[in-house]
Amino acid sequence: MGHGVKSGMNISPLGYLVKDWLKKLTQSQHRNKTNRGSRNNMGDNSDHKSSNQSSRVQEKPERQYLFPSQVMETFSEKGKEHLDTNMPSQFILSLKAGSFMTFGALFSVLLAIGIDAKGITYLLQGLGFTAGYLMVFVSGSVLFTEVNVLLPTSYLQKSYWKKNKYVKFWVVAYIGNIVGALFVALLVISSNSMTPEFTKEIETLLSHKMKFAENGWIGWFQVVVSGILANWLIGMAAFLTTAARDMVGKILGTALPVILFVAGNFQHSAANMGYFSLGLFTSDKYVWHEYVLQNLIPASIGNIIGGAIFISLLFSYAFRKEMRSS
């Protein structure tokens, strides 16, 4: 009977209000859950889309070389770093570069032994000397002819010129290259590893290098012009090697100009330091002052002109706007 009375009881107006409020609250909570779920799904979809977009961006291959203006900026920075290096370190790095030149000369002679075809001989000699230049470029050693490119570029980007510092560094690099080249040549000859065929091949090369002396003063100026061409090419080797971002690119960037300058018999003072150092210990055809006065001095003058004007000055002027904006 109590149950019947309870079930038959009327609900008060307050009860209806409470019941209606609870119903609306439940519906509101349900809608909120639904909206949150849809937003989460949209967020997941957008995250998925953005991840796909980022993956597509990452899949785009990177540029495999530097722009010319970036190369010239790198030259300027390297020149400044060399100037800021203390003199003992500069001299050690110059010794290393000179030694690498003799190694390159040695390799070029060894590869050409027994080859009669001139074209193949020039190709092999160029490839051999590529090893020496590549060791210089990658190791950060100080080569006089590369300095002719780096220092003028650094100077052109500054409003002042630290004259004494530049000249001192030039002298240190030149002397260090000669001493390093002589040291390696002495070690090679002392090892008694070379054959008579090597001596014959080095004498042939020395004759090509010193043939300008037969023309007197005209020959001296011909060496200057030849030196301009030589360091123009070696400057481009440094340019291409700096522009490349991987080792294969650096090897190719070094090899092509070097092969051309060797095949053209252009006079590069740093390379000739290697050849002449070997010649001093293996041949009596020429004496040291003939190498210096008739080849190294005019070749060095031409190398300075070729590197400073035809690489540093012209490229710095051509890309001056890009370099200033960056």
Are 184 and 99 spatial neighbours (Cβ–Cβ below 8 Å)? Answer: yes
Which helix (H) or strand (E) segment is 119 a member of? Answer: helix 118-139
Torsion angle defined by CA atoms of residues 75, 76, 77 and 83, in that order, rounded to the nearest 10 degrees: 110
- Mean pLDDT by groups of 10 residues along the chain of 326 residues: 45 54 60 53 49 47 81 87 88 96 97 93 95 94 87 63 71 96 97 94 95 96 98 95 93 96 96 97 94 97 94 90 80
Q: What is the pLDDT of residue 165?
A: 75
Rounded distance, CA 130 to CA 108, Å? Answer: 9
CA nearest to 82, candidates 172, 193, 205:
172
Are 259 and 130 spatial neighbours (Cβ–Cβ below 8 Å)? Answer: yes
Rounded distance, CA 57 to CA 194, Å? Answer: 56
Are 105 and 269 spatial neighbours (Cβ–Cβ below 8 Å)? Answer: no
Q: What is the pLDDT of residue 28?
A: 59
Q: What is the pLDDT of residue 6?
A: 43
Are 93 and 265 spatial neighbours (Cβ–Cβ below 8 Å)? Answer: no
Burial class (CB in 10 A: 0-12, 13-18, 19+), 219: middle
Q: How many CB atoms within 10 Å of residue 11?
A: 9
Going by the DSSP 8-state scheme, the letter that residue 65 receives in this structure is B
Amino acid type, 220:
W
∠ CA 125-198-298, nearest 5°, is 55
Q: What is the pLDDT of residue 152?
A: 75
Q: Give the contacts of 62 (CB within 8 A, at least 6 positions apart).
A: 245
Cα-Cα-Cα-Cα dihedral sign, residues 239, 245, 246, 247 = positive
Q: What is the pLDDT of residue 160?
A: 45
Cα-Cα-Cα-Cα dihedral sign, residues 194, 195, 196, 198 = negative
Strand partners, 65: 244
Are 275 and 205 spatial neighbours (Cβ–Cβ below 8 Å)? Answer: yes
Q: What is the pLDDT of residue 166?
A: 77
Q: What is the pLDDT of residue 2?
A: 44
Q: What are phi and psi of 126, to 5 degrees?
A: -65, -40
